[in-house]
Amino acid sequence: MTDERKPMDMKAAFSLQGRRALVTGSARGIGKAIALAFAEYGATVAVHGVRAGDTLDRTLAEVRALSPRSAAVTGDLAEPGAASRIVAAAADAIGAPDILVINASVQLRRPWLEVTPDEALLQMQVNFHASLQLIQAAVPAMRQQGWGRIVTVGSVQEQRPHPDMIVYAASKSALENLMRNLAKQIGPDGITINNLCPGVFATDRNLEALANPTYAEQVRARIPVRDFAEPQDAAGAALLLCSAAGRYITGTTLCVDGGMSVA
């Protein structure tokens, strides 16, 4: 904390040298872009996927090219106890994480009258319950060193819920509430927590829907900057929130949505 109070050398303020970051769901998409940016700025990164495989291996190789001591961890956040096992595996591989980005999520498109209890529970388990458990597992080590950064990845759907993703949208709003509540409780320990809200990103989960040109144009028309985001568009915001540059930002939501939440 002390060195962060000197007048800012802005390059140093964004450096993550010596930091250890766990980014869930970082084999691909937004999580991968965040993992690569963190590695480029000096952090040792634990990349995470549901299970071992080529995608996770390739991402780890790219991350290691920037930050050689980085490692991969696996685990399905739908399973009881997975969150604490993932944090423990990251700690074994790279040391206890002092940066935690909760990026993995499950999103099921379904008209609300057709949502089954199992589908609802799965989304709440992965997007909300497991997020709380990840934070519970990671905070003690952050507390011990008096420094930590947590980013929950929310969604523009907290402001603009999609009719066919009613549970997903609610799970992200619950996570945002959790984030604000925790900001008050862990701030005195030198730990910040913020919510990064993507709008419409061109990632795997949207490929099928955006492949329909009519639908893609309708969506584009609702975005003030008139374009979809690329995964790396979220990386700068995550870097701000997780570096010394963001030490005075906590309990807030940062939208990376081309203005969609205010349109």
Report the catalytic residues.
168
Closest distance between ligand NAP and the C-beta of residue 142, in Å? 21
First to last CA, the chain: 38
Among 23, 91, 159, 198, binds ligand NAP (CB under 6 A): 198
Size of the residue set binding ligand NAP (CB under 6 A): 28
**109 or 184: whose CB is closer to ligand NAP?**
109
DSSP state at residue 148: E
Residue bearing tokens 């066919």: 164
Residue bearing tokens 């991969």: 72
| Site membership for ligand NAP, residue 159 (CB under 6 A) | no
Residue 111's region, left for phi above 0, alpha for psi from -120 to 50, else beta, is beta
| Site membership for ligand NAP, residue 126 (CB under 6 A) | yes
CA distances from 80 to 50, 77, 85, 130, 134 (A): 14, 7, 10, 8, 12
DSSP state at residue 50: S
Among 23, 30, 89, 165, binds ligand NAP (CB under 6 A): 30
| Site membership for ligand NAP, residue 29 (CB under 6 A) | yes
| Site membership for ligand NAP, residue 103 (CB under 6 A) | yes
Q: Using CB under 6 A, list all residues that contact ligand NAP.
A: 25, 27-31, 49-50, 55, 76-78, 103-107, 126, 153, 155-156, 198, 200-201, 203-206
